[in-house]
Amino acid sequence: MKRALPCLLAALLLAGPAAADDTTRVGRVNTAITNLGLTRSHQVVVERFNDPAIANVSCYVSQARTGGLAGMVGVAEDPTRFSLSCAATGPITIPEGVRRGERGEQIWEASSSLFFKETRVQRFVDEERQVLVYLAWSSRLVEGSPFNAVAAVPYR
C-alpha cells in the first residue's frame, strides 16, 4: 500500500490534459451531489472547440464527469456518454491541405480516465453534398462497439 500511493501521485503529476488548447468550458450542471457537497458533484459539462483547420466551425461536446473524491483529484473514470453538435459561425472555406477520404482526420481529443480512454472527434468531408461531418467516439470499446455521436455542418 505504501508503494501504491507514490506511484499514484507520480501518475497524477505526469498526466496532463489531453484536450486541445482551444477548448473552452461553456457550462455545467450538477447531476448528483457527492459526499454531502464536500467534494465535486457528478456533472454534465459542455465544452466548445474550434476546428483547427477550418475557420468558422465550432463544435460543442457535452460529457458526463464523475464527481466525488476520485473525480476531484483526477483519477475517476468518466462514463462513456457524450453528445456532439457543430455549427458554422461564419463563411466556410475548405483549405487544400484538409484530409479527405473515408478515414477523415482526428481534430480533437479529451481524456476520460487516468489511462487509455479518450473522447475523440474525427472530421470527414462529404464533397458530394458539401457537408463537413464530425464524429465523436470513445477509444474504449463497450460491448464490442464504441459509443459515438455525429454532427453535420453544410458549406457552400
| Beta pairing partners, 32 | 42
* DSSP-based three-state secondary structure for 126: strand
**Phi-psi bin for 12: left (phi > 0), alpha (psi -120 to 50), beta?**
alpha
- For the chain, what percent of residues have pLDDT higher than 70? 71
- The cell numbers describing 76, all together, are 475517476
Q: Which residues pair with 83 in a beta bridge?
A: 62
H or E stretch including 137?
A: strand 131-138
Q: What is the pTM of this model?
A: 0.75
If you average pLDDT over residues 64-90, what whole number do you get?
80
Q: What is the pLDDT of residue 5?
A: 37
pLDDT per position as a tens digit, 82-134 = 899 999 999 999 999 999 999 999 999 987 665 667 889 999 999 999 999 99
